[in-house]
Structure 1
Amino acid sequence: MKKFIDPNHPFFASALVRWVTSLVPVIWALVEFVHGNTGWGMISAALGALAFWALIVRGPDEPTAPGKDTPQD
């Protein structure tokens, strides 16, 4: 199954892009809450939390050097 947000995609190579992608939905959730739209605020906050988890907390996989894709015993 494909991931909703793939941190290994080349678009997310820059840390700035990962941070902006995760913070914009959270900021938009605050706008929705201020205007009394709690439903849309919860949806935006959930999407921001998902993006933050996938892009910042978990982050992209570490690149492996050629020939080092299997651990040595």
Structure 2
Amino acid sequence: MTSNQDHPFFRPLWRRIAILVVTGVWSAVELWHGEQLWAILSLGVFAYSIWTFFITYPKQPRDG
């Protein structure tokens, strides 16, 4: 069984960076408009994206 991190869609670095940029911009827009609930939720998605796609992302694809 594979995790979502192992999905081939996420292998290119540019896609992982794009997801990070989109969630970061989303957070900034919500903060700019004063939407506190959505800002907190989008910051959570942004933090999870950093954790999943850069800190714990496997360096080499898993076999099997």
> Paired residue for 1:37?
35
Task: Indicate which of 25, 28, 46 corresponds to 1:27.
Answer: 25
CA deviation after TM superposition for structure 1 residue 29, in Å: 0.6
RMSD (Å), alpha carbons: 2.1
CA deviation after TM superposition for structure 1 residue 64, in Å: 5.9
Structure 1 runs of 4+ with >3 Å offset: none
Q: For structure 2, which runs of at least 5 residues remain unmatched after alignment?
A: none
Calculate the TM-score normalised by the size of structure 1: 0.72
Calculate the TM-score normalised by the size of structure 2: 0.81
Task: Work out the percentage of aligned pairs sharing the same amino acid.
Answer: 27
CA deviation after TM superposition for structure 1 residue 51, in Å: 1.1
More helix by share: 2
Superposition map of 1:1-73 within 5 A: 6-63=4-61
Q: For structure 1, which runs of at least 5 residues remain unmatched after alignment?
A: 66-73
> Would the alpha carbon gap of residues 56 and 37 (structure 1) be closer, same or farther in structure 2, given more than 3 Å must change?
same
Q: Which amino acid aligns with 2:13?
A: A
CA deviation after TM superposition for structure 1 residue 23, in Å: 2.4
